[in-house]
Structures are given as C-alpha cells and as structure tokens.
Amino acid sequence: MRSASFSGYPWSVPFIENAVWAAVYLLGSAIFWRVHPLAAGAYLVYSVSCMYLLVPRLVCTSCAYYGRTCHSAQGRIAALLFSPRDQREFPARFRYMRLAAPVFLFPVLAGAVLSVIRLSGTLAFSTLLFGVIALGFTRLVTTRLGCTRCEQRSVCPACHRTAPA
C-alpha cells in the first residue's frame, strides 16, 4: 500500500536530502584533493552546478513540483531560475539525470585507483565510505523520503526502477 502524495514536502525532507548530498560533495572533493587541489575544485564546481543548475533546468522545469517544495527542493530552484516546460515531457527529460552520474561515480573510480597506486588505507576507507554514502545512502534517502510520496511516481522512470515486483 502506497502513502498519500505530498503536494509539497515538509522542509525537513529536502534538508535531509541536501545534507546527504553535501556530504557526498565534500567527501568526493577530499578524495580528488589527493589527486590535485584543482581536481577537487573542479569536482565541487561540477557537482554543485549539476545538481543545482543543470538538473533543475533540464529536468525539474517539466516536473509537477516546479515552483513547489519537492524532496530535493530543486522544484523551487527551477522556478527561481528557469521557465516551466510541459509536464508531459518529464519522463523523457528525466534522462538528463545521467549528467549527475559523475558526481557519484568519479570519486569512487579515482579513489580506488589512488588507493592501489599509493597503497593508502585512509584513502581506501574514504573511498569505501564515499561509495556507501553516494551509491547507497543517497538512493535510500531519495526512495524512502521522496519517491514514496511523490506526485510524479506514476510517470517517473526512477520510481519504475525502484518499484517492488
């Protein structure tokens, strides 16, 4: 049985989700710092611009939560910065979420390679922790706090991937 939908999420939900994302960005930057400080800066700039500019422009402008508080607050960001699109485009526009993949995958790859090259237990632990937070905990937070009460779940490609059989 599904929960009732939120027409607007309580602010605690996007606060929690964005706090987890901030942990991802900071830990990913720390991993890239071991490559070079410029790599850490580039990762941080990409992460923040992707999640708070690209995704809101390319995906959230066609979401039912455009202008309202969604689980990530990106619907509000989209309304502040960009014009709305037709909501029927949402499932097709969701493919742009792939632009966020480097935010979650590149630090794992960089950290794994560096852990082997430099034989660093601290870096290996940081990379493992990043993987758990970025690839596990963010998904758990999004699906448990966001997807279960989302008005878009019937048309959202992410909900169809996470729906129980």
The predicted model scores a pTM of: 0.83
107: its two tokens: 């630090």
Indicate left, alpha or beta for 67 from its phi (over 0: left) and psi (-120 to 50: alpha): left
Please report, for the chain, the start and end positions of each structural domain, with discontinuous segments joined by +: 12-162
Q: How far apart are CA 129 and CA 117, in angstroms?
A: 19
Q: pLDDT tens string for the chain (165 positions)?
A: 445 556 778 889 999 999 999 999 999 999 999 889 999 999 999 999 999 999 999 999 999 999 999 889 999 999 999 999 999 999 899 899 888 888 998 999 999 888 888 777 888 888 888 999 988 888 888 888 878 888 888 888 877 654 443
Q: Please name the residues in contact with 48: beta carbons below 8 A apart, sequence gap of 6 or more.
A: 25
Cα gap 24→129, rounded to integer Å: 10
